[in-house]
C-alpha cells in the first residue's frame, strides 16, 4: 500500500509539472468525491406487499490519480450565465454582461436582421448564454413575449443562436408553451406597499392584485402602516423554467393575508369551470365589488366630491368628481366592466375616456397624457384605459374621475362601497375545501418569511 501511494505521489508530481492548471481543479474534485453520499426515497406499499430488503456490498477500486487528472484535463469547461434585456443594449454590452468575449458572435448579432428584436428596448427579453472558459460563445437563447396578444398568457417566443460545426451561426425561432408554477412570498411594509413587494421579489402584477384583493378593507392610499405584513401564494408563468417579466405573464394571486395595524385580513381567488373568478374571504363572502374603489392602484386623493375653490377660475364651484395626484404616466384603469363611449379631447378636460357600464352607470377619466382604448371597445374591470397627465385645464399632473348614475353625478368613493360582486357558482362544500387549502398555503408562506428574517 505504501509503495502504491509513493508511485501515485510521483505520478501526480509529474502531472502537476505538465498541467499546473488542471492540478488545482483535480484536487478539488477529489476532495468533493470523499463527501459524495447516495440517498434513496422509499415509496409506501400496501400491507402484505412489502419488498424483501437485501444489502449488497461491493469494493470499488478508484482509478489511479494520474488517470483521473488526465481525464479532467481533457474535460471542456462550459459556463451558463443569464440576464435581462436593458434599455440601451447593444451587441457589445449584452455579450459583455453575459461574460462572452467573441468577435464572431458580436458581429453576427449586430448584422443579422432576424435578430434585431433581441436588442429592441420595447420588447421584454430574457437571455441565457453558454460559453467556454475563454468566453467563446456556443449558444445564445432569448425568450420574449409571443407576437400576438391572444397568445401572451399561453406562449412565448424562443430565439436560439447556435454555433454550427463549420464555425458559423444558425438561428431558430419558435413558439413555446409557458408553464405554470406556484410560488410563495412575504414581507413587511416600511414605506409603501409597492416598495415592500419589490423587496420581497414579487412581480408587479401580483402586488397590484394584492392591493385589489383587500381594497374594500384597507385604503392603500391612506391607511397603510409601517410594520404591516403580507403573505402571498401566487401562480406565475415561466419560460423554460424562468419567471417571465412581462405583465401579462404574472399569473394569479391565489391566496393572501394582509395584516394592517394589527388587523388580519385573508382572501383567496375562486374560479369556476369556465375560468370566471372572484376574490373571496376564507368565509366565502365576496371581496371584489362591482366597482373598484380607485382607478389607480397607488395614488392619493387631492380633491374630493364637494364644493371647492376652482384652482384656475378662482370661484367656488361644486367638484363633481375626485382628483387623484400621481406622476405623469401612471396607469389609469377602468373601475368596472363596460364599453368605451368616448375617447378623445374634451375642452378643459383634455384627453378623456368615458365608459358606459350596466344599469345606466358611467365613469369619466380626464386630463390623461395618453389614451389606450378606442370608442366601442369592451373593457374589463382593471384594464388600462390611459395614463395620468396634465392635459386641458390642469395645474399639475393628476386624474379627474367622475361617476354618474342615470346622468347624475355621484361620489365615486361611496359608490364603490355600496356595490356588490358577482360570485362564480361554487358549492358550499367546495368553498370550505378551498378555504382549508388556502389557510395551509398562507401559513406556509408566512413561515417562509419568518425563516428568511432570522
Alpha helix stretches (DSSP H) within 112-163 = none
The more confident residue out of 33 and 339 is: 339
CA torsion, ordered 20, 25, 30, 34, to nearest 10 deg: 150
**Listed range (2-6, 120-124, 240-244, 250-254) with the worst mean pLDDT:** 2-6
In which band, very low, low, confident or very high, does the pLDDT at 97 lie, cut at 50, 70 and 90?
very high
Would you state the pLDDT for residue 328?
A: 93
Q: Are residues 316 and 406 in the same domain?
A: yes
Q: Which residue has the cell 385645464?
A: 393
**Structure-model confidence comparison of residues 156 and 7, the more confident one:** 156
HSE-up of 255 (CA within 13 Å, CB side)? 19
Domain shared by 332 and 259, yes or no:
no
pLDDT(48) > 50: no
- Residue 360 belongs to a domain with what CATH number? 2.70.70.10
Q: Report the pLDDT averaged over residues 18-31.
A: 40
Spatial distance between the Cα atoms of 414 and 306, rounded to a whole number of angstroms = 13
| Overall domain count for the chain | 3
More confident residue, 252 or 438: 438
pLDDT surpassing 90 at residue 159: yes
| Model confidence, pTM | 0.52
pLDDT per position as a tens digit, 198-208: 888 888 888 88
Residue 364 lies in a domain: yes
Same domain? For 130 and 164 the reply is yes
Answer with the residue of higher pLDDT: 31 or 280.
280
Question: Does position 109 have pLDDT exceeding 80, yes or no?
Answer: yes
* In a shared domain, residues 315 and 409: yes
Please give the torsion angle defined by the CA atoms of residues 228, 205, 302 and 366, in that order, rounded to the nearest 10 degrees.
-170
3-class state of residue 95 by DSSP: helix
Compute the C-alpha angle 127/129/133, nearest 5°.
Answer: 155
From 132, 156, 177, the end of a domain falls on 177
Q: CA-to-CA distance for 122 and 126, rounded, in angstroms?
A: 13
10 located within any domain: no
Q: Where are the alpha helices (DSSP H) in 242-381?
A: none
**Tens of pLDDT along 51-96?**
567 787 777 777 777 766 766 666 667 788 999 999 889 999 999 9
Using 50, 70 and 90 to split pLDDT, how confident is the model at 424? low
| CATH classification of the domain holding 150 | 3.10.450.350
User: Directed axis angle between helix 2-18 and helix 20-34, to 10°?
Assistant: 140
d(CA 384, CA 334) in angstroms, rounded, equals 6
Q: Are residues 209 and 122 in the same domain?
A: no
**Side-chain-side CA neighbours of residue 335 (13 Å):** 27
3, 19, 21 from 7: Cα distances, Å: 6, 18, 22
Band of the pLDDT at 25, cuts 50, 70, 90?
very low
Q: How is residue 24 written as a grid cell?
A: 488545482
Whether residue 349 lies inside any domain: the answer is yes
Q: With a cut of 50, say whether residue 304 has pLDDT above it.
A: yes
Residue pair 254/441 in contact by the 8 Å Cβ criterion: yes
Residue 15 in any domain: the answer is: no
pLDDT of residue 5: 39
Query: 317 with 411, same domain?
Result: yes
The x, y and z cell numbers of residue 241, run together, are 423554467
Structural domain contains residue 30: no
Q: Which pLDDT does position 154 carry in this prediction?
A: 87
d(CA 216, CA 435): 20
Is 313 or 274 the better-scoring residue by pLDDT? 274
Q: What percent of the chain has pLDDT over 70?
A: 76
Q: Give domain status of residue 57, yes or no.
A: no
Q: Is residue 14 part of a domain?
A: no
Nearest alpha-carbon partner for 126 in 193, 81, 180: 81
Q: Are residues 162 and 255 in the same domain?
A: no
Range of the domain at 256: 180-288+427-453
> pLDDT digits over 384-419, tens only?
999 999 998 888 899 999 999 898 888 887 776 555
Nearby residues of 177 by Cβ (< 8 Å), 6 or more positions away: 154, 155
Tell me: do 204 and 252 sit in the same domain.
yes
Residue 427 contacts by C-beta under 8 Å, 6 or more apart in sequence?
none
- d(CA 356, CA 363) in angstroms, rounded, equals 7
Q: What is the chain's mean pLDDT, rounded?
A: 79
Domain shared by 311 and 414, yes or no? yes
Q: How confident is the model at residue 145 (pLDDT cuts 50, 70, 90)?
A: very high
Distance from C-alpha of 96 to C-alpha of 81, rounded to nearest angstrom: 11
Last residue within a domain, chosen from 160, 177, 194: 177
Question: Three cell numbers at 223?
Answer: 391607511
The verdict on 103 and 197 lying in the same domain is no
**Same domain (yes/no): 196, 209:** yes
Query: What is the C-alpha separation between 260 and 76, in angstroms, rounded?
Result: 55
Are 398 and 438 members of one domain?
A: no
Domain boundary among 152, 177, 202: 177
Residue 295 lies in a domain: no
* Residues contacting residue 98 through CB under 8 Å, at least 6 positions apart: 81, 82, 83, 127, 129, 131, 140
Do 160 and 171 touch, CB atoms closer than 8 A?
Answer: yes
∠244-247-252 over CA atoms, to 5°? 85
C-alpha cell at 330: 401612471
pLDDT of amino acid 151: 86
Between residues 210 and 302, the one the model is more confident about: 210
Amino acid at each position: 500500500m505504501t509503495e502504491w501511494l509513493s508511485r501515485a505521489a510521483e505520478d501526480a508530481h509529474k502531472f502537476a509539472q505538465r498541467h499546473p492548471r488542471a492540478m488545482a481543479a483535480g484536487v478539488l474534485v477529489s476532495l468533493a468525491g470523499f463527501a459524495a453520499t447516495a440517498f434513496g426515497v422509499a415509496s409506501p406499499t400496501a400491507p402484505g406487499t412489502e419488498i424483501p430488503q437485501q444489502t449488497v456490498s461491493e469494493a470499488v477500486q478508484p482509478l489511479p490519480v494520474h488517470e483521473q487528472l488526465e481525464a479532467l484535463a481533457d474535460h471542456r469547461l462550459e459556463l451558463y450565465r443569464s440576464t435581462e434585456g436593458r434599455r440601451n443594449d447593444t451587441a457589445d454590452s449584452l455579450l459583455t454582461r453575459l461574460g462572452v468575449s467573441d468577435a464572431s458572435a458580436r458581429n453576427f448579432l449586430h448584422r443579422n436582421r432576424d435578430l434585431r428584436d433581441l436588442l429592441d428596448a420595447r420588447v421584454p427579453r430574457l437571455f441565457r448564454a453558454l460559453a467556454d472558459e475563454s468566453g467563446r460563445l456556443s449558444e445564445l437563447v432569448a425568450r420574449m413575449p409571443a407576437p400576438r396578444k391572444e397568445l401572451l398568457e399561453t406562449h412565448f417566443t424562443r430565439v436560439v443562436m447556435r454555433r454550427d460545426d463549420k464555425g458559423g451561426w444558425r438561428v431558430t425561432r419558435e413558439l413555446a408553451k409557458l408553464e405554470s408554477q406556484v410560488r410563495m412570498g412575504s414581507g413587511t411594509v416600511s414605506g409603501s406597499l409597492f416598495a415592500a413587494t419589490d423587496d420581497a421579489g414579487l412581480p408587479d402584477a401580483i402586488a397590484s392584485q394584492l392591493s385589489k384583493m383587500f381594497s374594500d378593507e384597507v385604503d392603500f392610499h391612506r391607511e397603510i402602516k409601517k410594520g404591516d405584513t403580507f403573505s402571498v401564494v401566487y401562480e406565475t408563468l415561466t419560460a423554460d423554467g424562468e419567471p417571465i417579466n412581462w405583465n401579462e405573464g404574472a399569473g394569479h394571486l391565489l391566496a393572501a393575508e394582509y395584516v394592517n395595524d394589527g388587523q388580519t385580513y385573508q382572501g383567496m381567488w375562486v374560479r369556476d369551470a369556465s375560468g370566471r373568478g372572484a376574490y373571496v374571504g376564507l368565509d366565502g363572502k365576496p371581496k371584489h365589488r362591482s366597482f373598484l374603489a380607485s382607478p389607480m392602484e397607488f395614488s392619493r386623493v387631492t380633491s374630493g366630491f364637494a364644493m371647492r375653490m376652482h384652482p384656475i377660475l378662482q370661484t367656488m364651484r361644486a367638484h363633481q368628481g375626485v382628483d387623484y395626484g400621481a406622476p405623469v404616466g401612471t396607469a389609469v384603469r377602468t373601475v368596472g366592466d363596460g364599453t368605451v363611449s368616448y375617447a378623445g379631447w374634451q375642452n378643459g378636460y383634455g384627453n378623456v375616456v368615458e365608459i358606459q357600464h350596466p344599469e345606466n352607470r358611467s365613469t369619466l377619466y380626464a386630463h390623461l397624457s395618453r389614451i389606450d382604448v378606442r370608442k366601442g371597445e369592451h373593457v374589463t374591470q382593471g384594464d388600462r384605459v390611459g395614463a395620468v397627465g396634465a392635459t386641458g385645464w390642469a395645474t399639475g399632473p393628476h386624474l379627474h374621475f367622475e361617476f354618474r348614475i342615470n346622468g347624475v353625478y355621484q361620489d365615486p368613493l361611496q359608490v364603490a362601497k355600496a356595490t356588490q360582486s358577482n360570485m362564480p357558482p361554487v358549492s358550499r362544500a367546495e368553498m370550505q375545501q378551498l378555504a382549508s387549502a388556502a389557510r395551509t398555503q398562507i401559513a406556509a408562506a408566512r413561515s417562509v418569511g419568518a425563516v428568511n428574517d432570522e
